[in-house]
Amino acid sequence: MDFPEFSSGIEDKEAVVQSLFWVGGALCLVATILPLVLLFRPSRLLRQAALWVLLAGTGAISAAAILVISRSLDLHLTLLSITPQLALSFRLDKLSCFFVVIIGAVSFCAVIYSITYIAHYKSERSKQFLTSGLAFFILAMLLVVASSTTFGFLFFWELMSLSSFFLVMFDLDKPETQKAGIFYFAMTQMGTIFLLASFLLLYRFTGSFDISAAGNIPQWGKGLVFVSLFIGFGTKAGIIPFHKWLPYAHSASPSNVSALMSGVMLKVPIYGLVRFIIDVFRPDLWWGIVLLFFGSITALLGIIYAFKEHDLKKMLAYCSIENLGVIVVGLGLYVIFDFYGLRVQADLCIYGALFHTLNHALFKSSLFMTAGSVVQATGTRDIEQMGGLIKRMPGTGAIFLVGACAIAALPPLNGFASEIMIFQAYLTSFSLGRPILEILLMAGLAALALTSTLAAACFAKAFGIIFLARPRSGAASAAKEAPFAQLLAPGILAALCVGFGVFSYQLISNVKSGMPLPDILPIGIIVLVLTGVTFLLLLLTRSPVRKTETWGCGIPSQTGKMEYSGDGFSEPIVTVFKPVFRTRKLSTREFYDKYNSIPRSSSGEIGTLKFFEERLYMPIARFFMKIAGAVSNLHNVDMDALILYSFIAVVLVILGVGWWL
C-alpha cells in the first residue's frame, strides 16, 4: 500500500514548512535586534549583517508559504498560549500563504534595495534605527496574515502599525513629517479601535477568539461586525474617505519603507477583508454593494487626485489608493455574483482581486523603489524639477517604464491581466436579471473604465515629465545612476511584472481552470517580436548623426523653462474634473486710499480645495480639540474645584445606590 507513505510524505512537508516558518521568523527577529546590539557605537558591519539575515528570513518564510500553496497544506502552529483562549497561534493555509508570499517576496526585494539605499543617510544612528525598524515591520506584517486568532491578529496588527509609525517619523525634524505622523497615528488608531470593536463583538457572539469560528453569529450581528471591520480595514487600506493619512505618510517616509507600506502593508487589510468575507462569513448582498460603491469611488477619486499631484511619491500614493479601490471593487462584485449564484463571474472577481493584489504589490513597490532612486539622485520630489533622466539614469528609467506600463494596465503586463478579469466579470453581468443592480454595475463599469484611462494618462505624464526631454533643474542634470542593488531589486519586481502578465493565463488555469480569460502569451510574443524588429530596423537603417545646435527661433539655446510642464499636461483633465478638484482662485488687493483707487499691493493664488481634509477631517479634529480643551480646563483648576468634583461624585454615587439597589 502506498497510502501510508503518501501521508508520511505530507507530514514531512509539514515539518519542513514548520521549521522554515519558525527559522524565518527567528531570523527576522535577530535582524531586528542585531543593529541595536551596540546601541551607542553603531556598527556598519552589524547593520549590513542584519540586512543579510533579514534577507534569509524573508526568503525562508516565503519558501515555506510557497510549499504550503503548492502542496495545499493546512497547518496550525502555536507560538505562545497565555490562556487557552488568548493564544498567539498561526494558521498556514492557501489564503494566508498567498499573502505571506506577497509580503515575503516584496520584502525580500525591499531589503536588497535597502542595502545601498540606507547607506546614503548621514547619521549612523538613524541607519541603525531604520534597519532595525524595517526588520520588525516586515516580521509584524508576516505574522498578522499568519495569525489564526483575532487576538493574535490584533496584536501583530498593532505592532505593524506602531513600527510603521516610527518608520514614517524617520525624518522627524521636518514639519511635513510631523504632520504625516500625526495623521497616520490618529487614523491608524481609529482603524484599530474599529477592529477591536468588531473582534470583541465576535467574541461576544461566539465566545471564541478563533477567526475560523466566527461564522455562526446572528444576521444583524454579522452586519454590525462587517461595518466595523470595513471601517477598520478600510482605514488601513486607504479607502476614501478614510484615506487621508496615506499620501502624507507614504511621501514622508524613506523610499524603501514607502515601497513596503504601499506594496505590502496595504494588502494586509485586504487579506482581512477576504478572510472574513469569503472564508468566515456568508456575506449579504448589501455588503457587496457597499464594497462596490466605496471601491469605485476610491478608484476614481484616487486616480483623479493622483493626476494633478506633482510630488512624485504623493502621486504614487494616490495611485495606491486607486488600485486598492479596484481590488475592493473586485471583492464587492464577488459578493454580489456569489449571492446570485453566478459561479463563473464570482470566481473571476475573487481571483481577479487577489491577482491584482499580487500585481499591485509587485509594480507599486518597483515604482516606489525607482522613485526613491530618482529622489535620491535629484534631491527633490517635485517632478517639475526633473526631466531628461532617461539619459542619466537609463536603468532606473527602463524599470520605471515597465512599472508604469503595468500600473497603466497595458498588455501584456500583469496590471492588464488582473484588471481584464474584473472587466470580464462586469461585462458578463447582464445574466444577473435584476435591472437596478445591472444599472449599478454598468455605472461601476464606467467608473472603472474611466479609472483605467486616467491611470494611463497619469503615468504617461509621470514618465514623460520625469524621464524625457531635457533636465528642468541643475539637480536633474547632475543626477547619477543608482547603485546596482537599487536597480536589481526593482528590476526583479519588474521582471515578475512581465512574467505574471505574459503567463497569466497559464498561471490562473493552473489554479482554477475554465475561466473565460484571454491568453496573453501570443500578445507577449507579438510585442516582443515587434520590439525586436523595430530595434533591428533602427540599427540597420541608422544614418550617421550630425551633432549641431538646433535652430531655436533666434534664441541662443533652449532651457528647461521652455518645456512642456507637468501642470500643463494635466491642465485639460483638471479642467474637466473641476468640480472634483474645487479649484479656488484667491486674489487680495490693498490700497493706499479709502476710495480704493491707488493700489498698494495685490496677490493672486490658484489652489485646489483639499476637500476631505478641509471639509471632513479638520471639522472633526476641531470638534475633538474643543472637547479636549474643555476637559483640560476642567482639570486645570484650584483645590476648591477639585473638592467640588469629589462632592459631585459622592452625590452621584449616593444617587446611584438609591437608583440601582
Partner 1 sequence: MMNTGITGDLIEVLFVLILGTAAFVITQRALRSLFTLYAIQSVILAAIAVVLFAEHRTVSLLFIALLTLVIKGFVIPAFLRRTLVVLPTKRDIEFSYLTPASSILLSAVLLFIVYTSFSNVAEVLFSDRLFFLGGVIGVSLALMGMMVIFSRKKVVSKIVGYLTMENGVLLFGLFIAEMPFIIEVLIVIDLFMLIVLSTIMAFGIDSSIEAFHKKLTQLGMRFED
- Establish if 655 lies at the interface with partner 1 (CB under 8 A): yes
Q: Give the start-end residues of each E strand in 82-179.
A: 87-92
- Of the candidate spans 35-43, 320-328, 379-387, 639-647, the one that interacts with partner 1 by CB under 8 A turns out to be 639-647
Are 250 and 314 in contact, with CB atoms under 8 Å apart? yes
Give the three cell numbers for residue 118.
Answer: 540606507
- Of the candidate spans 148-156, 532-540, 571-579, 644-652, the one that interacts with partner 1 by CB under 8 A turns out to be 644-652
- Of the candidate spans 233-241, 332-340, 526-534, 636-644, the one that interacts with partner 1 by CB under 8 A turns out to be 636-644
Closer residue to partner 1 (CB): 537 or 654? 654
Closer residue to partner 1 (CB): 539 or 639? 639
- The type of residue at 35 is P
Q: Is 220 exposed, middle or buried (0-12, 13-18, 19+ CB in 10 A)?
A: exposed
Backbone angle region of 43, left / alpha / beta, with phi > 0 → left and psi within -120 to 50 → alpha: beta
- Establish if 638 lies at the interface with partner 1 (CB under 8 A): yes
- Establish if 639 lies at the interface with partner 1 (CB under 8 A): yes
Closer residue to partner 1 (CB): 435 or 658? 658
Smallest gap from residue 654 Cβ to partner 1 (A): 5
Residue with cell 471639522: 619
Are 123 and 19 in contact, with CB atoms under 8 Å apart? no
- Of the candidate spans 52-60, 101-109, 337-345, 645-653, the one that interacts with partner 1 by CB under 8 A turns out to be 645-653
Closer residue to partner 1 (CB): 562 or 651? 651
Smallest gap from residue 627 Cβ to partner 1 (A): 23
Of the candidates 487, 489, 375, the residue with the CA atom closest to the CA atom of residue 111: 489
- Establish if 654 lies at the interface with partner 1 (CB under 8 A): yes
- Establish if 605 lies at the interface with partner 1 (CB under 8 A): no
Of the candidates 593, 288, 630, 235, the residue with the CA atom closest to the CA atom of residue 441: 288
Are 319 and 286 in contact, with CB atoms under 8 Å apart? no
Query: What is the residue-wise DSSP string for 457-471?
Result: HHHHHHHHHHHSSS-
Smallest gap from residue 255 Cβ to partner 1 (A): 51
CA distance 652 to 657: 9
Alpha helices in 207-266 (DSSP H): 219-237, 245-252, 255-260
- Of the candidate spans 22-30, 350-358, 551-559, 635-643, the one that interacts with partner 1 by CB under 8 A turns out to be 635-643
**What is the size of the binding site for partner 1 (CB under 8 A)?**
16
Closer residue to partner 1 (CB): 605 or 638? 638
Give the three cell numbers for residue 198.
Answer: 468588531
Smallest gap from residue 660 Cβ to partner 1 (A): 9
Q: Print the binding letters for residues 64-103 with partner 1: x by CB under 8 A, - otherwise.
A: ----------------------------------------
Closer residue to partner 1 (CB): 533 or 637? 637
CA distance 298 to 242: 10
Of the candidates 495, 491, 334, 329, the residue with the CA atom closest to the CA atom of residue 419: 329
- Of the candidate spans 75-83, 469-477, 532-540, 651-659, the one that interacts with partner 1 by CB under 8 A turns out to be 651-659
- Establish if 634 lies at the interface with partner 1 (CB under 8 A): no
- Residue from 443, 533, 537, 644 binding partner 1 (CB under 8 A): 644
- Establish if 647 lies at the interface with partner 1 (CB under 8 A): yes
Dihedral, 208, 214, 219, 220 alpha carbons, nearest 10: 60
Give the three cell numbers for residue 182.
Answer: 500625526
CA distance 110 to 512: 31
Give the three cell numbers for residue 644.
Answer: 467640588
Closer residue to partner 1 (CB): 3 or 659? 659
- Residue from 123, 587, 588, 646 binding partner 1 (CB under 8 A): 646
- Establish if 636 lies at the interface with partner 1 (CB under 8 A): no
| Segment (H or E) for 608 | strand 599-608
- Residue from 6, 220, 595, 659 binding partner 1 (CB under 8 A): 659
Which residues make up the interface to partner 1 (CB under 8 A)? 638-641, 643-644, 646-647, 650-651, 654-655, 657-659, 661
